[in-house]
Amino acid sequence: MSRIRDEADLTDAELADFPGLLAVSQFARMLREVPWFAALGEPLDEREVNLAEDYLAGMGFAEAAIVLAADWEEAEEAVRNPDWNTAFWEAEEQLRVALVTEACERADEATVQLALTHLSNTAAQAIVDRAEIAAVHWEIADEALLRTAIGAATQACYHAGLALAAESEDEEQHPFAIKYRLFEAGRWPLGLVGASYYLF
């Protein structure tokens, strides 16, 4: 396949030989239907708790306690807490690097990067619209915190797209796919602070 120079050229026909990248393209199309940030602050239901537990187990931190942030103030305290668990971030980064390597073994690097760039751009557009609705509802004036939420959701889409691009075995159970489903449920997974995993 020839080098694609613009993400707009990424059609399903051109990606037909790469099932993972075709799945990424199809995934991007559904992102505007996701109720981004619609469940913030609401009590966790059983499915969400199970998703969080599965995500933590997949990341190797099954013993972490799941903590619900009740409002944006508590969410801000979690994301800006200096006791951020660096081992958790490092584990996530190792997963990301491994998926990039696998994806580039299935298609050329330029095409992989363009497909993921298209996904990220599409995600950001969808997420910003919903984030602005959430900001009005919660009367949030902190632009930096809102950008942090948008960035986290966009990154979750990118990571989930990587798992698709890499054609991971049992992709739906990959930690990145599970984390995306928490966002898909209207949540904001904030991260691991000390031994507590915060969800908003």
User: Quick one: pLDDT at residue 11?
Assistant: 63
> Using one digit for the tens of pLDDT, what is the confidence trace for 140-197?
878 899 999 999 999 999 999 999 999 977 888 999 999 999 999 999 999 999 999 9
> Using one digit for the tens of pLDDT, what is the confidence trace for 8-51?
455 665 666 688 999 999 999 999 999 999 999 899 999 999 99
pTM: 0.90
**Cα torsion 106, 109, 111, 113: sign:** positive
User: Quick one: pLDDT at residue 137?
Assistant: 82
Two structure tokens written together for 22 = 């075709």
Two structure tokens written together for 56 = 């933590």
User: Quick one: pLDDT at residue 156?
Assistant: 98
> Using one digit for the tens of pLDDT, what is the confidence trace for 42-99?
999 999 999 999 999 999 999 999 999 999 999 999 999 988 899 999 999 999 999 9
Look at 119 and 168; give whichever has higher pLDDT. Answer: 119
User: Quick one: pLDDT at residue 14?
Assistant: 60
User: Quick one: pLDDT at residue 15?
Assistant: 64
Closest CA to 173 of 62, 88, 91, 54: 54
40 φ, ψ (degrees, to nearest 5)? -60, 130
DSSP category for residue 21: H
